[in-house]
Structure 1
Amino acid sequence: MRISNKEKIMLYILGIIIIGFIYYQFVYSYQMNIIQDKMKNQNEIEQKYTEAENTINSIESKKSDLKILKAKISDESLSFYPTISEEHIILELDTLLKDSGLNGGIKFNPVISDGVEKAKDKDNKTLQKSSIQGIVDQYNNVVDGKKENNSKSEKSNLNNNVSSSNSDNDTSGDSKDKKKNTVQYVKCEVSFEGSYDELSKMLNTIGKNEKKMVVNSIKIDEDTLNSVKGTINVEIYSIPKIDDELESYLDWKLNNTYGKSVPFSTGSANGNIQANKDTGDFIASVKSSTSDLPTIMLGKADDSLRTTYIYGDSNSQENVEMILTQDGDKYYYKYKTSKGTFPANYDGIGEEFVPASQSIDLKIQSEIRVTSNDKSELKLKIVNKTDKLVNVDISGDDSADPRVTIEGDGSNISVNQK
């Protein structure tokens, strides 16, 4: 059989089509599937690499946030007890009685956990964990992750021991009945007998005590010319603490110093300043990034609960703005860092305050640089819209390479280096 040239060409074309189809079906498609899988794996690896890179880059920021969180918890819980330990409270109240010259005794009511914002909540008798415990546990879990397992076990055993000491008062209620913003507290009746001066001395001591004791009422049973006899109803509140303050409190011995030093305390090891009557209106501190405290802290001088404090933390210059405003005979303040503002609504005029003197005084405690890589600084811009002079006193700053820079109108701002 003879095939014409046209038929040969058609056969060639058919053969090429068949070969192309076989190649596409069994070679090209197979290779493309492999390539697509490789590209998918590449994209997944690149995504993981990007996430890991972002995580690594955010480590310093996370460390900064963790340090600020720690400072906020420590500052705002400073004036409360770390736990309700009747043995320690007995020793403390007994010391108050003896130091004031009174004779007396102490009677405790059961420890309860309740909300303190609303009076109608006081009828609830169910003992719950403090609502702040979750924040503390979250912080401790992050920190404990870097520690050895035996350290975790020791802390867990300690917490279990503390919990078991109050187990007689602990009852578990329905989760629906659990309230937000709860704290543990105990009410105690302190009976006393002595003079009016001795009673006044004890009440003044309670008022100045570093840890809050709330005197709800005083009942006078006997009242003569030279003596008085009755009972004082006292409430003592506890808030869970971080780090080792609970351990140090439970290891309490007479004449010891308990807990961590106040971040703004004169003569402390870390050289901070004290928030007392002589400090002025506002206080601030500037520290090295190697410090356990945030590099920047700023707040009202008379704020024992640290609710007006703002923080910043980085090994670089922190830009802080402080605006002081006058409206008639009233004065207002607000300030902000890269990490927060006070008040939260920064768009408003701010929070009202009464200047402690004829001027508005800001005390800034700085410190010398630790190393050549210590770059933490405060650049404070003060906007003074009042009729008062703003006195800024800076102490402890590095003379060779100062950490603190003040910006503002020099006609109503005075900066003094000490």
Structure 2
Amino acid sequence: MKISNKEKIMLCILGIIIIGFGYYQLVYCVQINKIEEKTKQENEIEQKYNTTMETIKSIEDKKSDVKILKAKISEESSPFYPTISEEHIIIELDKLLKDSGLDGGITFQPIVSDSVENSKREEKSLAESSLQGIVDQYNNIVENTEDTSSNKTVDNSTNSKDSNKTSETSTANNSKADNSNSSNKKDSKDNKKNTVQYLKCEVKFQGSYENVDKLLSIISESKKKIVVNSISVSQDTLNLIKGTIKLEIYSIPKIDDELERYLKWDLTNTYGKSVPFNKGAAGGNVEINKDTNDFIASVKSIYSDLPTIMLGKANDSLRTSYVYADSNAEENVEMILTQDGNKYYYKYKTSKGTFPANYDGLGAEFVPLSKNIVLNISSKNREDANDNSEIKLKIINKTDKLAEVNISGDDSIDPRVVIDGDGSNISVNKK
């Protein structure tokens, strides 16, 4: 069978179409799918790479945040015991009695893990005195010289208003009481979620009044928080004071090795801290080393376990007034002292936080401990050429007192501490 040229051309075209379709289905589409998969994998890998690089860049910031958080937790939990160990508490309470010159014994209740008891003050609106109407009537007579009848009318209307006010106050108080009850129920449920271990004990004692006063002073000055729940005393014929003091001791788990140090049992050595209680002077009066500093700050090396910058109120055992910063560079810190009448206020901020949280107002009120407002700054020598942590403290003093800044331990060649402010009301002393 002969095929014409026209048919040959058509067969060639058909063959080309078949070959092209086969290539598209068997080769092109397969390659396109592979390219799309590779492109998708490339995008995923690129996203992971970018995320990883951002994480790497933020490692230093994370380290600083962890260091600051650890410092806050350690300082705020330091007054509480790391665990309830009756053996150690017996020794501490026995030492407490001996230091105060009292004789006594200790009775413990079982250790409890429960929410902390909470008490709320109930606000009440007191009704006016029944004599207030007579006084108001008398004042109206003297000032306005009105007749008796009009005064009686005023008095009656006043009494009517007073009775209405009393009724409204009673209703408001009932409403407040209902709201208080409901809120107390809610608080009690919430408190059950967060529990701590605590121990209640009774200490029976006998001694002089000065010894009892010394006992309470030592407890108040103790580095560990011991709550005095109640105290009852009586005096016998020999002028001796007998009584019972109920104490509560709380424990909070610690994030450092304080638990191991606290539980170390060696009768030949001093327990725990070298001076767990401040000793009193003879005669029953306790000598309290009152710090004349109003504020304290520290500037440390970047290699320290603590943040490089710490600034806060002196004698703040819980460090609630502290601000922190941690970087291997110059840290700009601002401190503002303000006077409003006879009251003094302070606030300060770093790159990591402010105190108080609302930095727009005057700040927190304080009472200066001396004729000047004293800030003590402790610093350290630089450890090497890569140790660049330092502070530039700008002090704005808007008070009638001199801001006295005492710097100790700073590097003499390359100081870490720089004070900026008006030299007329700021005094800088380097020790």
- What TM-score, normalized to structure 1? 0.78
Query: Matched residues in 1 for 2:303 and 2:3: separation?
Result: 96
Query: Matched residues in 2 for 1:335 and 1:49: separation?
Result: 39
Question: What's the counterpart of residue 410 of structure 2?
Answer: 397
CA contact (8 A) 1:100 1:201 kept: yes
Deviation sequence 1:77-125 (CA, Å, 0-9, x none): 11111111111111111111122221110011222234336228xxxxx
Query: Matched residues in 1 for 2:366 and 2:49: separation?
Result: 51
Question: What's the counterpart of residue 139 of structure 1?
Answer: none
Deviation sequence 1:13-38 (CA, Å, 0-9, x none): 44443333222211111111111111
Relative to 1, partners in 2 of residues 1:224 and 1:289: Cα closer, same or farther, differing over 3 Å?
farther
Query: Matched residues in 1 for 2:215 and 2:192: separation?
Result: 35
Question: What's the counterpart of residue 63 of structure 1?
Answer: 63
Shift of 1:362: 0.8
Query: Matched residues in 1 for 2:363 and 2:193: separation?
Result: 28
Question: What's the counterpart of residue 330 of structure 1?
Answer: 343
Relative to 1, partners in 2 of residues 1:366 and 1:354: Cα closer, same or farther, differing over 3 Å?
same
Query: Matched residues in 1 for 2:208 and 2:338: separation?
Result: 49
Question: What's the counterpart of residue 3 of structure 1?
Answer: 4
Match of 1:119, SS? Answer: coil
User: Of the candidates 278, 303, 308, which is equivalent to residue 290 of structure 1?
Assistant: 303
Query: Matched residues in 1 for 2:322 and 2:241: separation?
Result: 43
Deviation sequence 1:294-320 (CA, Å, 0-9, x none): 111110002111111111111111121
Shift of 1:328: 2.0
Question: What's the counterpart of residue 222 of structure 2?
Answer: 209
Matched, 1:33 2:47: no
Query: Matched residues in 2 for 1:82 and 1:377: separation?
Result: 34
Question: What's the counterpart of residue 258 of structure 1?
Answer: 272
Question: What's the counterpart of residue 111 of structure 1?
Answer: 111
Match of 2:205, SS? Answer: strand
Shift of 1:371: 1.1
CA contact (8 A) 1:279 1:363 kept: no
Question: What's the counterpart of residue 329 of structure 2?
Answer: 316
CA contact (8 A) 1:245 1:259 kept: no
Q: Which range is displaced more, 350-359 or 276-285?
A: 276-285
Matched, 1:388 2:401: yes
Shift of 1:180: 4.3
CA contact (8 A) 1:283 1:301 kept: yes
Superposition map of 1:109-148 within 5 A: 109-116=109-116, 118-119=118-119
CA contact (8 A) 1:343 1:351 kept: yes
Query: Matched residues in 2 for 1:54 and 1:117: separation?
Result: 46
| Runs of 5+ unmatched residues, structure 1 | 121-174, 263-274
CA contact (8 A) 2:262 2:271 kept: no
Match of 2:104, SS? Answer: strand
CA contact (8 A) 1:281 1:301 kept: yes
Match of 2:192, SS? Answer: coil
CA contact (8 A) 1:276 1:302 kept: no
Superposition map of 1:195-274 within 5 A: 195-253=208-266, 255-256=269-270, 258=272
Shift of 1:60: 1.8
- Larger Rg over CA atoms: 2
Q: Which range is displaced more, 193-202 or 87-96?
A: 193-202
Shift of 1:260: 10
Query: Matched residues in 2 for 1:9 and 1:66: separation?
Result: 80
Relative to 1, partners in 2 of residues 1:332 and 1:227: Cα closer, same or farther, differing over 3 Å?
same
Shift of 1:176: 6.7
Question: What's the counterpart of residue 73 of structure 2?
Answer: 73
Shift of 1:377: 0.8
- What TM-score, normalized to structure 2? 0.75
User: Of the candidates 370, 378, 385, which is equivalent to residue 365 of structure 1?
Assistant: 378
Deviation sequence 1:26-61 (CA, Å, 0-9, x none): 111111111111111112222222222222222222
Question: What's the counterpart of residue 369 of structure 2?
Answer: 356
Shift of 1:177: 7.3
Q: Count residues in correspondence.
A: 351
User: Of the candidates 388, 408, 412, which is equivalent to residue 421 of structure 2?
Assistant: 408
Match of 1:304, SS? Answer: coil
Question: Sequence identity of aligned pairs in percent?
Answer: 70
User: Of the candidates 314, 317, 331, which is equivalent to residue 301 of structure 1?
Assistant: 314
CA contact (8 A) 2:292 2:369 kept: no
